[in-house]
């Protein structure tokens, strides 16, 4: 396990440049079966299953679990949606009729300041394609105000 090697540093630079995300104090990027974010001491534990938040996939794209945990820190490339659109997105559906420029890009979808998930903006279709895995899709039952 390497701490803040090339992949970790490159991912850290990417999330800062693309999303404006600086990880909170105490949260580190480390490599353990892929780049992960969390406390590196969990590798020494006897935890079965997910060992921290996956930070990026094999293609170096942020994972939805990473964005759902740290997307609230984004100050760039995020979209604030209303309750109806947030519910649709949380269920795994995309968002149409978006005008986010001419470049394709990853975006954080938020409602009321809370992160719903990760989307990919397609400028040709003017849609945000949903990238929440089926196992992480949820029906939003709590509402704000």
pLDDT given at position 106: 93
The pTM of the full predicted model, rounded to 2 decimals, is 0.81
Q: What is the pLDDT of residues 60-97, one digit of tens each?
A: 789 888 998 999 999 999 999 999 999 888 888 899 88
Specify the fold of 77-136: 2.30.130
Q: Is 41 left (phi over 0), alpha (psi -120 to 50) or beta?
A: alpha
pLDDT given at position 79: 94
Q: From residue 5, how far is each of 77, 111, 144 by CA, in Å?
A: 26, 34, 41
- Would you list the domain boundaries of the chain? 6-72, 77-136
Q: What are the two backbone dihedrals, phi and then psi, of residue 127, each rounded to the nearest 5 degrees?
A: -130, 155
Q: Is the pLDDT of residue 144 over 80?
A: no
pLDDT given at position 142: 54
């Amino acid at each position: 396990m390497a701490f803040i090697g090339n992949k970790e540093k490159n991912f850290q630079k990417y999330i800062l440049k693309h999303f404006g995300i600086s990880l909170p104090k105490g949260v580190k990027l480390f490599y353990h079966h892929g780049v992960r974010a969390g406390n590196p001491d969990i590798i020494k534990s006897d935890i079965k299953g997910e060992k921290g938040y996956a930070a990026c996939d094999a293609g170096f794209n942020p994972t939805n679990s990473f964005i759902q945990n740290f997307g609230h820190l984004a100050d760039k490339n995020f979209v604030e949606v209303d309750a109806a659109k947030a519910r649709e997105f949380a269920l795994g559906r995309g968002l149409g009729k978006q005008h986010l420029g001419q470049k394709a890009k990853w975006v954080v979808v938020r409602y009321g300041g809370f992160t719903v998930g990760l989307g990919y903006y397609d400028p040709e279709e003017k849609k945000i394609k949903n990238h929440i895995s089926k196992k992480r899709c949820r029906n939003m039952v709590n509402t704000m105000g």
